[in-house]
Amino acid sequence: MTQDPLEIYRRLLLIRECEAQLNDAFAKNRFPGYLHSYLGQEACAVGVCDGLTDSDVIVSNHRGRGHYLAKGMAVKPMMAEMFGKASGVCGGRGGEMHAADPSIGVLGGNGIVGGGLPIAAGAALSAQMDGRGAVAVAFFGEGASNNGSFGETMNVAAAWKLPLFLVCENNLYAEMTPFDQTVAQPDIALRAAGYGMPGEVVDGNDVFAVREAAARAIARARSGEGPTLLELKTYRWGGHFEGDPRKYRTREEEDEWKARCPVARVRKILIDERGIEAAQLTALETQVASEIAEAIVFAIDSPLPEPETALSKVYAA
Amino acid sequence: MANKTFCWAIIDAMREEMERDDSVILIGEDVAAAGGSFGATRGLFDKFGPARVRDTPISEEIIVGLGVGAAMTGRRPIVEIMFIDFLGLCLDQIANQAAKTHYIYDGLFKMPLVIRTSTAVEMGIGPHHSQSWEAIVSHIPGLKVVMPSTPRDAKGLLKAAIRDNNPVVFIEHIALHRVKEEIEDDEFLIPLGKADVKREGRDVTVVATGLMVARALAAAEVLSKEGVEIEVIDPRTISPLDIDTIVESVRKTNRALVVTSSLKQFGLGSEVSAEITERAFFDLDQPVKRLSPPFTPVPFGRQFDEYLNPNADSIVSAVRELMA
């Protein structure tokens, strides 16, 4: 785990800048497809991934960039993948919802809500058989918790004591439907008990709280005690996708949550409690912003894959 | 040479591959101590233990998902989905995940996953246990679909499927499980994607799959006495389909009949028929004929199954019409 809070801040910033600048590119019509922003949820990915090594694997969802960056994916090829460019981590054919890098344990995103959960269980089964203490992490939203794949995954992971860490980022809206319209019980973490595993609700906007809870879940998985469900209460600043007019919620609610910004919160702690100079943070912010800006330029300037490549790799050799 | 049932050929294939390669694992409902719903995993749990042979909950989506995730992280899983009718419960993992992972991620992952499943057409088990869905899975790029018709083919094809780096849906007809055949003791593989000419003939090419192969061969005996020699081709792998072998035969016989348990509309017979027509239209003396079940679900009871499916008599009649 990172001991340096400045490094935690840098990782939060990296995701924040990535999302903010991508939103900007989308608004200027420079982004080629749907964009599912992770803005506002940065503390979840950073807090969880801080306890992982390259031997641990994650599966992601529609809103994957935070997870990829927090797990250590190289910024430029990840960004190029988002733009569907040949220089992307997957040659551009995965695009915005699908990036992977097995060398750092990223097993991909997913275009199907709940689709990654069973895959994470399978990766956890491999890790259990390998016996080297590796962990599989499934990131999913609260929407996926109403999918059958969630219950099936929870059940088998608990029954087999798989080294699986289930991370539910509850951002209150399943696509465009408020979560409280589709469930009677607001705490998904309570469902863990029914499957025979620990479940915990944590403030998903507090990176240090996420990190501590994640460390417990990861330690449990590593030591063979089985899966844990962590529910991170957070908020998706944008719509389900960029351009979503968000008629299903109020601007007041959005402002309330923005006031609980997970990035600004760490900045304040660094200044107030750690005595770090604001100027030092501003320099870091500028540096991270340029890194992302350069990656976006790299992505935009990169060539598209040739259309005939669509016919390749249907089957593996 | 040993006389083996189709079922034991399947077990032998898995045992040999599990002995050869530690990364091969078996996951499914009742596959461990129970020895499989149809007895097709007997002895494997005792030999390889609970880490490699695992009983799952009745939870089809997770069964295939476990296979997908394990395949992405270095295993070669065989998963069992009891009846093909249940694939709807795990179609996301099959179609969106297993079939596309290698492709989406530009080859970063291989997907050496075998999904063993069974079909029970004509067993009279009722509407949720009698379907023939090979056409449904064959419509998904990235999957391979195998449907053996004999014990020897089952063994060689399953061993090849386990060694293949792609997801393979392996369809076993449970009526065939009891069929016996002499199988050589030495190891052999049957390559995926290669059709087999089960009987040579000059007059009509009959393409038959699964349970229909034996019926086509029985029809061939009847027709032979009338002086009509049919060539029976079993594609064995439905996707990718070895259309070259089929077309080559049609160029010789100039007539074609496709016999399947796959429904007539949008079915396997439609595909084979269309391919023949596109590639060998001017070699045909007659339009290609299909014998397939009509477009209806299947009620409970063997009389309905027998009524709805092609049999040796209907094959004989169809061939006579083609020869008229």
Q: What is the pLDDT of residues B131-162, one digit of tens each?
A: 999 999 999 999 999 999 999 999 999 999 99
CA angle B177, B183, B186 (to 5 degrees): 130
CA angle B70, B75, B80 (to 5 degrees): 70
Band of pLDDT at residue A258, cut at 50, 70 and 90: very high
Q: What is the DSSP string of A131-200?
A: TS---EEEEEETGGGGSHHHHHHHHHHHHTT--EEEEEEE-SEETTEEGGGT-S-S-GGGHHHHHTS-EE
Asked if residue A1 has pLDDT above 90, the reply is no
The helix/strand/coil state of A5 is: helix
Helices (H), A28-74: 42-49, 65-71
Q: In B, which residues are within 8 Å of A90 by CB distance?
A: 104-106, 108
Residue B180: enclosing H or E segment and its boundaries? strand B180-183
B129 is catalytic: yes
Band of pLDDT at residue A2, cut at 50, 70 and 90: confident
A112 in reach of chain B (CB within 8 A): yes
Q: What are the respective helix, strand and coil percentages of chain B, to the nearest 5?
A: 45, 20, 40
Tokens of A16: 């924040």
Tokens of B53: 């042979």
A311 in reach of chain B (CB within 8 A): no
Asked if residue A3 has pLDDT above 90, the reply is no
What's the distance, CA B158 to chain centroid?
A: 10
- What CA–CA distance (Å, rounded) separates A273 from A282? 17
Out of A102, A120, A159, closest to residue B109 by CB? A102
Place of tokens 């009949």: B257
A100-104, A268-272, B302-306, range with the lowest pLDDT: B302-306
Asked if residue A244 has pLDDT above 90, the reply is yes
CA angle B96, B102, B107 (to 5 degrees): 155
Terminal Cα-to-Cα distance of chain A (whole angstroms): 39
Pairs across A and B, CB distance < 8 A: 130
CB contact under 8 Å between B70 and A100, yes or no, is no
Q: In A, which residues are within 8 Å of B111 by CB distance?
A: 316
CA atoms within 13 A on the CB side of A190: 5
The helix/strand/coil state of B202 is: coil
Cβ contact A42:A90 at 8 Å? no
Give percent of chain B with pLDDT exceeding 70. 100
Tokens of B107: 């080859």
CB contact under 8 Å between A159 and B166, yes or no, is no
Chain B closest CA to A150's CA: distance in Å? Answer: 9
Out of A119, A121, A152, closest to residue B97 by CB? A119
> What letter would DSSP give residue A106?
B
Q: Looking at residues A9-17, what average pLDDT do you find?
A: 98
- What CA–CA distance (Å, rounded) separates A234 from A253? 13
Position B103 scores a pLDDT of 98
Q: In A, which residues are within 8 Å of B92 by CB distance?
A: 112, 115, 149
Out of B66, B92, B105, closest to residue A122 by CB? B66
Band of pLDDT at residue B232, cut at 50, 70 and 90: very high
Give B149's contacts (C-beta < 8 A, 6+ positions apart).
B173, B176, B198, B208, B209, B210, B211, B212, B213, B214, B234, B236
The tens digit of pLDDT for each residue in A128-168 reads: 999 999 999 999 999 999 999 999 999 999 999 999 999 99
**ipTM of this predicted structure:** 0.97
Q: Looking at residues B71-97, what average pLDDT do you find?
A: 98
The pTM (predicted TM-score) of the whole model is: 0.97
